[in-house]
Structure formats: C-alpha cells, structure tokens
A and B are shown apart, each in its own frame.
Chain A
Amino acid sequence: MNTPFAITLRVGSSLANKTGAWRTERPVYVDRMPPCNDACPAGENVQRWLYHAEEAGYQEAWRQIMADNPFPAVMGRVCYHPCQTACNRAQLDESVGINAVERFLGDEAIRRGWTVPVTAPPAGTRVLVVGAGPSGLSAAYHLRLRGHEVTVRDAGERAGGMMRYGIPVYRLPREVLDAEVARIEAMGVRLELGHPVTDLAAEMRDGHFDAAFLGIGAQLSHRTYLPAGDSARILDALSVLRTIADGEPPRLGRRVVVYGGGNTAMDVARSARRLGATEALVVYRRTRDRMPAQPSEVAEAEEEGVQMRWLSTIAHAGRGSITVEKMRLDDTGYPQPTGELEELAADSVVLAIGQDVDRSIVDGLAGVEVRDGVVQVGPDMMTGHAGVFAGGDMVPSDRTVTTAIGHGKRAARHIDAWLRGARPARPPRPPLATFDRLNTWYYSDAPATVRPRLEPARRVSTFDEVTGGLGESTALYEARRCLSCGNCFECDNCYGMCPDNAIVKLGPGKRFAIDYDYCKGCGICVAECPAGAIEMVPEPR
C-alpha cells in the first residue's frame, strides 16, 4: 500500500466494508394515515397542508386543500371539524386548531384572488348537476377539474343551498360564500339558477347530458302533529331561516319557542334573539347530552341568552302561550310523557325537528331505491339507475356541509371513471398513525390558540360574524403545533442519529434515503422519529 509518510491507513477506507450485511431487519420510510386526514369527511390531506402552512407557504397549503375541497373559507367557519376531535395532539395538550388555520388560508385566498386553473384536456362529455348546494358544487368543481362540461341547475335564485338559506350569516358571511362559489363558476361551470328540475330524464335527453349528479338536499321541514288552537303561530325552521336569509325576517314576537334539539334549532333560537326576541326558549324531549346539536353551538346559544328546556315536549300551542309536558327517559332511553304540564308564554313556535328529502325527482327513474326516506347509492355514489349519481343530504349521510362536499368529490371521481369506461384509481389506504407511534419527547409544549369571539352582548343585537379569524402569526404558530403524525417532516433525527451515516439527506423537501450498504439495522431511527414515519421490516431474502 502506497501512502504518504507516516500515514498507514487511507482516509475513509472503511467504506470497503459493507456493514449492511449484518442486518436482519431494515428500516423503511412510511407515510401513515394521520388521524386528521382519516376523520375529514371531505378527505382533506390536513397534515400535508399544515406542512406547507408551517413554512408560511400559504398558497401551496391552500392548493393542497383545494385538491379535495373547493370551500376552505366556508369550511373554516361551518365545518364541525371532526379532524380536531381525532387529532393526536389532543393527547399531548390540545388538538391543533386545524379549522382556524383553514379559515385563515381560505380568507387569504379570497383576499389575494387565488384561482384554480383547469388544466385537464376537454373530456368531451357533459354532466348535469341538480342542486347548487355543497354536494352539487363540489361535484361540479371536481368534474370540471377533470375536463368535463358541467351545468348546475338549482331551483333557488342564488347558489349555495343550505349554506345560503339555512346557515345564518353570523356564522357564515355571504361575501365569503359568494367568493368561493364565484371561483367555481370562473372555472367554466355553468350555473343555471331559478331552474327547478322536475323531469330529470327529459332534461338529460334535451341537454345531451351523459351523466347526472343529484344533490337536492333535504329541504322539506319535517312535520309533526301538534295540537294547536287556530290562532297559534306555528312556523317551520327552514322557512324562518330562509326568509331571514332573503332579508325579510318573519315576525316572531318577543317570546319565541323553538321545538327541537339540533343545530337548526340553535340557529333559529340565536337568530330570534338577534331579531329582538327577549326570550328564546328551546324545548327538547331528551336530555342535554342527547341533543344532536354540536356542544359548541349549544354553548354559544346559551351565552347569547337562549334558554333550554330539556325533557319537555309541547302538548298544546295556543294564542300567546304553550303547554309543555315534562318527559322522562325510559330504560331504553326513549322519552315518555309524565302527565306533568306547565303553561308558558309564547308568541310563536318554530318547529325544528328535522328535514326530509323531496323524492319526487327520482319518482319516474327505473332502478332507484328509496329507503328510510333517502335515496340509496352504492360506494361509487351511483343510484340504481345507471349514470345517475347522488350525494349530500338526500342520501344516507350525517348531513353536514363537509360530508356533502366529500360526496360530491367521490361522485365526481366515479362519474369520471364511469364516463371513460375506466375503474377509478384508489390508492391503498395506509394504516393509521396512532398516538402511541409518536416519539413525543421531541415536541415542545405549545398550548392552542383561541380564536377571538364577539362579546355575547354585542352578538344579540347584530348578525355580524361571531367568530373571528386568526392573524398570520397566530395561524402560523397554530400550524406549527402539528405533530405531522405518520409523515416525515424533515426534522433530521434519522439523518443525525444514525451511528453508521447510513441515512442520506436528499435536500429540502426531498426527505431522506437509506443506504442499505451500511445500515446495520440498529433501529435508532425508528425509535427516534418523532412522527413514527419509519418502520422496521424483516430483511427481504
């Protein structure tokens, strides 16, 4: 061996010794399903968009949301964020304020006028969408992105469905809705408003549509028999909310009783307070914990002075008063009358006991099955009638805006595949990134940010938005609280902690590779990855 004076061994010559041969197991990088993504009804890749937001890449973050959901600013206001319920960070301190960051991104996009280009070549196919609610608009958006010609027909004068005619403005300002609908329209989606569809087959034939998506919602107020005097003032929740949305609020009087325990009941009671009712009372047959309304909405209603009367039913409604009967829950949890009556003053009674689907649109369609009052669809969102798909409140659903959007997305994927005669590609669903797989040592303590809210005293006098948004620095901070469950976020732990230099750093955004020539399979990287994004697998033979 020829080496310079006093040098016996060549620099770095150990590379000749491939220590990878020692290995019996090998580490591999994985991308697991973060609980937030898993829980999002619209299938948003939450972890991924937070990753962009963390480095202030707001536009990339927003585009990542838009890949799944065309309504980030609406979502940031009305979504009940099951992602946050599922968020692993909740087990550390509090869940990441995903919804607040989403709202910040949605608002930022509106402020900056970001748009979505349609880059797919024209598909040469035409799809009719009935209903411009969240499911219909989502389907239209995703179909348009795939190059289809889309026409949306809606009976209403304006688009949005329940986002416009149900959800009150103090929760969803209409400029926000308008901006996000306009962006979809600008992509070349035709909106034909004031156009109720009654004969679907005829409209499809006449308009040369190759497929249809139905998203007509559940727009009929559920009726119940209520013993009432002639002069009792009884209204239904949807028409009350609709007239408020149209700017012609109904006269409800000073004492308003709302019957029902869902979100609609809360919205009516809170709206009534804003319209000047000094007393707004919600009467519900079961207990508080059985109310279908979101706890946050119940709490906000109470803050605004809405009163609740649980375990009660309306036995009779008369002029200026109602009679309520106390209920008790039987062993099966079903409310039973007790015979105890009480009379309460009430100028009007609003029924908010659920919504039904107007099924007449599918009446003449062969093969369509209606069960439990809703139209049945397969996992591909297709009804029993070939080429007719449906989603949102009119199909089995938990009836939220986000679920409707998710249905629209899924239907669009399958309509696209159906029209092209292809099978929709469905990437395999990776296993869940559970909390126990994280190495939480590496995360610093960082309590959640609280969104500013209007003082209750001011809320009851205006329809101004109740919940404020986050500023940039707080949104950034909140995004950075994300633990990046199950997905590499380039913390360099594996690269830094390998005793054998067997991890190759590929550069910003490119993650890492493992050099199996030298990896001895010790497992330090697996143990120390904060996100649980590395797994040990048996060495292939």
Chain B
Amino acid sequence: MTVQRVKFYQTGSFAVGNRLLDPAQRSTQARMDRANSITSGHRACQGCGEALAARYVLDAASRATDGQLVVVNATGCLEVFSTPYPESAWRVPWLHSLFGNAPAVASGVAAALRARGRTEIRVIGQGGDGGTVDIGFGALSGMFERNDDVLYVCYDNQAYMNTGVQRSGATPPAARTATTPAVGPQPGNTFGQGKSAPLVAMAHEIPYVATATVAGLRDLEAKVFRAMQLRGARYLHVLVPCPLGWGSGTGETIRLGRLAVETGLFPVFEAERGEVVAVTPIRRRLPVEEYLRPQRRYAHLFDPAVRSDVIERLQAMADRNVRRFHLEGKR
C-alpha cells in the first residue's frame, strides 16, 4: 500500500478558511467575529484591491493587538473613498492629515502614546504608493532612522489612482498611465524606474520589512502578526491591483495579484534587520505575458503589434527576481 503523508486540508492553506481546521488556526478573515475595520458603504471602485487589503491588514492587526490600535492614513484613494463627509467606513480609531506626512504623523502618535505611558496601544501608518514612495518618502525614512514604534503599510497600486492614474515612483516600466502615455518608440513608463521601497526600507536595517499581495491572505496575515510581535519601525508593502488604473476586470483583482507573484514580477519575502529571512516560492511559474495581457495599461504591448522586445525586458526583470530572491525553491 502506498503510504501518503496525510495532507490536512482539502484546499491546502490557499483558501481563506477551512471548516476542517481547528477554529484557532483559521484565518482572521474567515472568522465571523472579524473586526471589519473598514465596513460596507465605502466608495471604492468595484473590485478594489486596496479596500480589501486594508481590511485584511487592519483586521489582523486588531486581532493581534486585541483592538488596541490607532491608524494614521495618508491622502489617497483609501482615505477619500472611506471618509466622504459626513460618512466614515472606519471601525478603528483613524486619523488623516496630509498626503505627504502620514509617516511623520504616525511617529508623532507613537511618541504621544509613549509620553502618556500607553505603549500597549499600537500605531499603524498607511498610504498609497504615491504617498509612500514619493511625497512621504522623507518622512518615512526619518521614521525608519529613528526606529519609531510604527508599522507602516504601503498599499501599492503602482500609480496615483485617486487623482486620475498618474505615474508614481512605483509605476513599473512599460505601464501606461495618464502621464506615461503609450506613444513613441518606448511607450509607457521608462525602464529603470519603479523603485523597490521594500529594498530601500531594508537598507535602513529596521527590525522588519515584508512584501505581500492581496492574493496571499494567509501569508499577509502571518506577516501582520509577526510585525505586531515586534517593536520599532516596521514596513509592509502590499501589492493591490486596481481595476480602474490597471484596466482590468473588476473580478480579476485577486487573480492579478496571484499572477504578479507566479510570474516573478512581484517577489514576496520577509526581511529582518536588512536581511531576507524568508521568501514565498512560486508555486506554478508562468511567463509574464499571462500577467500583462489582462491589463489595458499594457495593451500597447500586444496591439497593434506584439512588442516582444519590451515583453522580453519585463521577462528579464522577472527572471532576475527569481534568481535574486530564490523564488523557485521548494515549498
């Protein structure tokens, strides 16, 4: 008789929940009593990855801290769609100041809580990629340098979505935005751009840096729990597909997050004090085309002619990630 290692779940740990698992081991999102930190009625687009990721992160953080949490939000979609006056979708203590100062305000909240001896209350700063890697970058770097006790979360949809899809420092090469149109011999954003904020964060040698996507819920939750176990400056960078800005189907959000990982374009890893300590290996490696084709921001790579030259350069980026982060290791 062939002996099987009895696998525990019907669906592995890939699905959100699993009725066969002990309740304590199930994901936060599977629980009936999850915090729903951001609730229904918000005005995010249909299928918004950012709204979803914010709930994933904050519900997990609420569970990890028993609800002892303050959230500071930069200007951007997440702020605008959640709080159109006089409504708020937030069910956590939440404050908003400016586009560029969320890391600084979060540092200030942490300092105030320390001054009042209330260090059991934890602080999360959050913003879009524009607010994080562009206008807020100085404040963020300062927060890292001072090792302020803040978890900063960047929801990366790879452009300034709230103001109409302008290019940001995180917009990847070849992507079309309102300010990087698909015209000329090198259409879309320039190669060499699309900076990796996680690698810059690692260079600060802060206690914890991690990347995640909205497609890897359990991985994301585990990283939030890990971050909340630690003190000091921590950085979590979450890839969040945006149907509006990427020109993708509203139901494709999770699938695109998955494809970003499985093609190698978005490496998922964890680093402590500047060193990578874990990577999420690719499960079923796919060519970058699979990820590019469903997005209209890359339509010019396929129509009117297939730009294999550009696709090859993007593939080379993915291949480099796979080598650099050892993404083809064993699960």
Spell out A's residues near B (CB within 8 Å). Answer: 1, 8-19, 22, 54-55, 441-444, 446-447, 449-452, 473-474, 476-477, 480-484, 489-493, 495-502, 505, 507-508, 515, 517-518, 520-524, 526-528, 530
Contacts and interface: CB of A to CB of B under 8 A. Distances in A.
B55 A501 contact: yes
A452 B17 CA distance: 33
Contact of B253 (A18, A476, A524): A524
Given A12-B89, A497-B52, A523-B249, A515 B40 contact: yes
B204 interface: no
Given A480-B7, A527-B251, 9 more contacts: A14-B39, A14-B87, A55-B19, A452-B1, A477-B4, A483-B10, A493-B15, A499-B49, A522-B253
Contacts of A521: 46, 250
A501 B39 contact: yes
Given A442-B14, A491-B11, A16 B46 contact: no
A516 to B, nearest CB: 11
A520 B41 CA distance: 10
Contacts of A9: 83, 85-88, 90
B41 A17 contact: yes
Contacts of A474: 4, 6
B41 A518 contact: yes
Of B15, B44, B254, the most chain A CB neighbours within 10 A belong to B15
B20 to A, nearest CB: 6
A473 B51 CA distance: 41
Given A13-B87, A14-B88, A530-B15, A524 B47 contact: yes
Contacts of A473: 6
A490 B19 contact: yes
Given A16-B41, A489-B19, A508-B19, A496 B29 contact: yes
Contact of A518 (B2, B26, B40): B40
B20 A493 contact: no
Nearest to A523: B251
Interface in B46-104: 46-49, 51-52, 55, 82-83, 85-91
A418 to B, nearest CB: 42
Of A12, A449, A477, the most chain B CB neighbours within 10 A belong to A12
B1 A450 contact: yes
B46 A522 contact: yes
Contacts of B11: 442-444, 491, 530
B215 to A, nearest CB: 9
B210 to A, nearest CB: 20
Nearest to A505: B32
Contacts of A492: 15-18, 26-27, 29-30
B83 A54 contact: no
A526 B255 CA distance: 12
B43 interface: yes
Given A492-B29, A530-B11, A477 B40 contact: no
Contacts of B20: 54-55, 480
A498 B14 CA distance: 16
A533 B14 CA distance: 17
A522 B7 contact: no
Interface string B105-128: 000000000000000000000000
A19 B40 contact: yes
A1 B27 CA distance: 38
B36 interface: yes
A489 to B, nearest CB: 7
Nearest to B10: A480
List of 8 A-B pairs having minimum Cβ-Cβ separation, nearest first: A492-B17, A523-B251, A444-B12, A496-B16, A14-B41, A522-B47, A9-B88, A496-B29
Contacts of A477: 4, 6-7
Nearest to A452: B1
B252 interface: yes
B51 A496 contact: no
A268 to B, nearest CB: 29
B116 to A, nearest CB: 15
B140 to A, nearest CB: 25
A17 B52 contact: no
A499 B52 contact: yes
Contacts of A22: 46
